[in-house]
Amino acid sequence: MKENSISKNHLQTRFHGLDILRGIAILFVMIGHTTLLIPKPLKSWYQLIQLDGVAFFFVLSGFLIGGILLRQMEKEPFTFKKAKDFLIRRWFRTLPNYFVVLIFLVVFSYLFDTIKYRGFDWTYFFFMQNMSQGTRGFFGESWSLAVEEYFYLFLASVVFLLSNFFKERLTLIFNCIIIFTILSVLGFRIYLFFNSELFVEDIPFLTFCRFDSIMVGVLGAWLFVSRSKMKFSWAWISLILGVGVLILLKLTAFLSDYLAIVYFPLFRSLSVLMMFPLLFIWQNKGTLVERFLVFTGKISYSLYLINLCVVMYIVIEFVINKTWEKTNFETDIWYWLIPVYWLVSYLLATILYYKIEIPFLKLRDKMVPNDG
């Protein structure tokens, strides 16, 4: 394969560049959460280096599952069994870690009655916690998992219907659904901004209000599948433009709540997609930074689940409250609590990855082999 092109077979492999992007995504998430430990005089400067890591995850997720489903549609009809197997494979990937952390937090909430853990109810077991409200104190980061779980159901259903009942114009209709979904979600955010009783800041966290971000990833998968000989001589330019737009959106978000809430989630996702061409032709040089990012990418799901509620709100807050008898995160020991937060997060995430995630992935491959 030439260095500046991509073939369809690429979509069947694990991309080194996408592993790196996954690692970068979780680092941005954790950088954002580290803000809790930064003293007020430094917060405004520190926040300049924060980007929306969740947008990276949404686009990556859409790209990967879109690629899987597009390949299966090309080969043969996407039967009910294939749809079921697809969803089971996704659930083996996402549910074990989620329920381990959720059950731990539920048990903790009953043993230690703290304010942050009084928001639990049964909706968390069905990923319905953000159907009608924004993030909560209890397992607040799980909002994005709810978005992804329902998107899996939505996209698998769409592909099943198209593959079995609209074979003649499959590609055209699929493309129309991609565009229709993106525009519909954008319109839904506009409607909620002017008509909802929610705080406008909560709108982007509602389950169906970020489907467009994941669908941007599906759009990317379709582009790379349908234009398999696409040249990437412009990959660096695309990357620079994507990063530039992300920074511009970050610096201008304060100018308009309407733009920031309604349009910027979509613009951020499109900016992330612009980084993909370079990642496809990225050559593995085996540098220490690359190995760190790839490892971080592998444990990124575990890191995402435990870094805030488990590490920040339990481990770090326990240290602050019990040892230094403080009532908030802003202390004169912040400069060493930050490395504690990062080290404990990596340690617990690595344990969760190897003891829970990997065994269930191996079990998945035995029970539901990947034929796509």
More confident residue, 59 or 336: 59
Lowest average pLDDT, out of 12-21, 60-69, 342-351, 360-369, goes to 12-21
Q: How far apart are CA 335 and CA 18, in angstroms?
A: 32
Q: How far apart are CA 67 and CA 358, in angstroms?
A: 22
- What's the pLDDT score for residue 284? 78
Q: In this prediction, what percent of the chain has a pLDDT beyond 90?
A: 58
pTM of the model: 0.90
Tell me: pLDDT of 230 over 70. no
- What's the pLDDT score for residue 16? 76
- What's the pLDDT score for residue 227? 57
The pLDDT-based confidence of 5 (bands split at 50, 70, 90) is very low
Closest Cα to residue 155, out of 174, 135, 134?
A: 174
Tell me: pLDDT of 65 over 90. yes
Segments in the chain forming alpha helices (H): 16-34, 40-46, 53-75, 80-111, 143-165, 170-195, 211-226, 235-252, 257-258, 264-273, 276-280, 288-298, 300-306, 317-318, 334-352, 358-367
Tell me: pLDDT of 231 over 60. no
pLDDT in tens, 146-160: 999 999 999 999 999
Q: Taking residues 333-355, what's their average pLDDT?
A: 92
Mean pLDDT of the chain: 87
- What's the pLDDT score for residue 13? 43
- What's the pLDDT score for residue 210? 96
Tell me: pLDDT of 3 over 60. no
Tell me: pLDDT of 307 over 90. yes
Tell me: pLDDT of 253 over 80. yes
- What's the pLDDT score for residue 45? 80
Tell me: pLDDT of 369 over 60. yes
Domain boundaries, the chain: 8-367
The pLDDT-based confidence of 9 (bands split at 50, 70, 90) is very low
